[in-house]
A and B are shown apart, each in its own frame.
Chain A
Amino acid sequence: MKRHAMTLGSAAVLFVALLLLWAGAIRVFDIQKFMLPGPKAVYQAAMERMPSLLTSLAITAEAATGGLVAAIVIGVLIALVFAQSRWARTMFYPYTILFQTVPIVAIAPLILMWVGPGTFAVGLFAFIICVSPIIANTTQGLVSVDRGLVDLFLMNNATAAQILFRLRLPHAMPALFTGIRISAGVVVVGAIIGENYAGSARVGVGGLGYAISYANSQMETDYLFALVAAATLLGFIFFFLVMFLEWVFLHRWHESARGPEVE
């Protein structure tokens, strides 16, 4: 307990020190507000425009959640198919890597043309950036089951479905969560890139990415900072939510998900 308090305390001290350094630098170097606003100006901009900030945050959160959930469902389904045969893996696995290597910015105009602007398009960007790590990690988890455990199931006359759902899938859970954690770290990035291109079906209302572009064009640098902070916070929330779920599902049996030992 005392240790946690110490960690939190020093983090808070560092945060305040950085804010002071930031505010001090602006004063000392006499930096223009539209180039770099001070922390106070950012705070004020955030407070004044809180309703639209929260609306943008909610829109982005929705698209990112949709993209991530779709990536988990479809990624796991693809991994289940891959786990069934080496042939399927060698044939199709290289194509799943394309999701990761395709420059998402380069195909943005295509996506926009095909599905039109709006939440679905943004979710699709988030999905594309998320799905590859989930497929790769889950497949690895499904196929790396100890031979002895498979023999055990065979000795009990287990069916192929029983081996898949009672052995391979639970065995792959830690790997699946590793994949989701990687994806959760970048899902907001994907959504915001998407919103830059396909952010809004209506003028004036959009997610964080859309609002960032708009604030930039209006030279509202203080609000832009507030939006960036909100986007970062959203990424954090995703990441910690996944960490929490991982702990809930795995802490009882898996070493990696156990909290720090009580000393």
Chain B
Amino acid sequence: MRVPAIAFEGVTKRFGQGKAILEELSVAIQPGEFVSVVGPSGCGKSTLLRLVSGLSPASSGTVEVDGMTPTAAREITSFIFQDPTLLPWRTVRANVALGLELEGVARERREKTVEDLLTLVGLEHVAGSYPRQLSGGMKMRASIARALASKPRILLLDEPFAALDEMTRDRMNEELIRLYQQHGWTVLFVTHSVAEAVFLSTRILVLAPHPGRLAHDIAVELPYPRTAETRGSEEFDALVARVSRTLREVHSV
């Protein structure tokens, strides 16, 4: 059996002596899966990502990323935050290069990688601009390009498109799924939007709140490649309805 990309074993997380945010969570995510996490606020969705990234330690139980501790696995993991978190004093190009620079990658290779990534996310025309000159969607694209610079095998995304308007959000979803199809990452994606989760994922985890725990584990068997047309299909609508229903049940408990 393969080593799971991400494995939770009886993970509980509490802050100080407070109530548990997550309780006894056990779930394994296989390499290549695109897993979305949905659930009402207070169910510990974002905490889950912070555990995987090693930014926050588990109170009990173990979290393993590719068989390693989360901190040791940072080399192969990239985090895309809710805000674009671009450095305002750096140009788009220099922002995308940040991770490589911190790693000490040689300038020539860095520049080559950055140019390729800017082309990949369609930002080559604003490479020399500063973040304040960009739209919300462009900032998010720059943030994604930066996350991809270290050639991660595992992507963690914390409601990355929540602040965007619906049109931009749909387009960003289509770009993300296109990149996912090309690269075959393992993705853990936290979102509030059921439609977004269904469109992107191979699997959806529905969490219940107080304390956060796994309530449903739903496989999404929509065919690939997924494009804008996928949203018009009957299966898509049926799945959205189903996930919404489970989410309402979880809410009312």
Contact = CB atoms under 8 A, between A and B. Distances in A.
Contacts, number: 56
A149 interface: yes
Contact of A151 (B75, B81, B88, B150): B81
Interface stretch (A38-46, A64-72, A162-170, A212-220): A162-170
B88 to A, nearest CB: 5
B103 A156 contact: yes
Given A158-B102, A253-B130, A152 B81 contact: yes
A170 B158 CA distance: 26
A155 B55 contact: yes
B78 interface: yes
Interface residues of B, number: 24
A252 interface: yes
Name the residue among B82, B99, B102, B131 with the largest chain A CB count within 10 angstroms: B102
Interface in B75-110: 75, 77-79, 81-83, 85, 87-90, 98-99, 101-103
Interface residues of A, number: 21
Interface string A128-141: 00000000000000
B53 interface: yes
Interface in A203-256: 252-255
Contacts of A253: 88-90, 130-132
A148 interface: yes
B74 interface: yes
A149 B98 CA distance: 12
A189 to B, nearest CB: 32
A170 B99 contact: no
B112 to A, nearest CB: 19
A153 interface: yes
Contacts of B85: 146, 148-149, 151-152
Contact of B102 (A162, A170, A254, A255): A162
Contacts of B101: 166
12 contacts: A146-B85, A148-B81, A153-B102, A154-B55, A156-B74, A156-B98, A156-B102, A156-B103, A158-B102, A162-B102, A167-B87, A253-B89
Interface of A: 146, 148-149, 151-158, 162, 166-167, 170-171, 173, 252-255
Interface of B: 53, 55, 74-75, 77-79, 81-83, 85, 87-90, 98-99, 101-103, 130-132, 150
Given A157-B74, A252-B89, 13 more contacts: A148-B81, A148-B82, A151-B55, A152-B81, A152-B98, A156-B150, A166-B98, A166-B102, A167-B87, A173-B89, A253-B89, A253-B131, A255-B132
